[in-house]
Homo-oligomer: A and B are copies of this chain.
Amino acid sequence: MGRPREFDEDEVLERAMSLFWAQGYEATTMSHLLQATGLAKGSLYQAFGDKERLFLKALRRYLERGRQDLRNCLSRADSGYEGLRSWLLENARPTLAQGVRTGCMAVNSAVELAPHNAEVRKILRDHERSMEKLYEECIARGVADRSLASTVDPRSGARWMSTTTYGLQVRAKLGMSHDHGRETVEQALCSIAAA
In the complex, A168 Cα to B115 Cα: how many Å? 15
* Chain B CB within 8 A of A150 CB: no
Closest CB in chain B relative to A119 CB, distance in Å: 13
Near B by CB (< 8 A), chain A positions 158-175 give 159-160, 162-171, 173-175
Task: Knowing A159-B184, A160-B187, A183-B159, say if A166 contacts B170 (CB, 8 Å).
Answer: yes
Majority SS at the chain A contact face: helix
User: Which of A5-13, A31-39, A73-81, A103-111 makes up part of the contact surface?
Assistant: A103-111
Smallest CB–CB gap between A28 and chain B, Å? 10
Specify the chain B residue showing the minimal Cβ separation from A192: B190
C-alpha gap A165/B163 in the complex (Å): 9
A58 at the interface (CB under 8 A from B): no
The complex is assembled from copies of this chain, and their number is: 2
Chain A residue total in the interface (Cβ 8 A): 51
Judge whether A47 is part of the interface by a CB distance below 8 angstroms: no
* Interface set, chain A 73-127, CB cutoff 8 A to B: 100-103, 107-108, 110-112, 114-116, 121, 124-125
Check B111 against A107 for contact (C-beta < 8 Å): yes
Given contact pairs A26-B26, A184-B156, A187-B160, A114 touches B173 in the complex (Cβ within 8 A): yes
With beta carbons under 8 angstroms apart, the residue of B102, B112, B188, B192 that contacts A115 is B102
The docked-state distance in angstroms from the alpha carbon of A156 to that of B92 is: 14
Q: Report if A110-B180 is in contact (Cβ < 8 Å); known contacts: A164-B164, A167-B162.
A: no
Closest B-chain residue to A155, C-beta based? B183
**A121-B192 in contact given A160-B187, A168-B163, A187-B160 (Cβ < 8 Å):** no
Q: Which residues of B contact A100 (CB under 8 A)?
A: 115-116
Known contacts A153-B187, A156-B187; 12 further A-B pairs (Cβ under 8 A): A26-B27, A111-B173, A115-B173, A152-B187, A157-B187, A160-B184, A163-B167, A166-B170, A169-B170, A187-B192, A190-B190, A191-B192
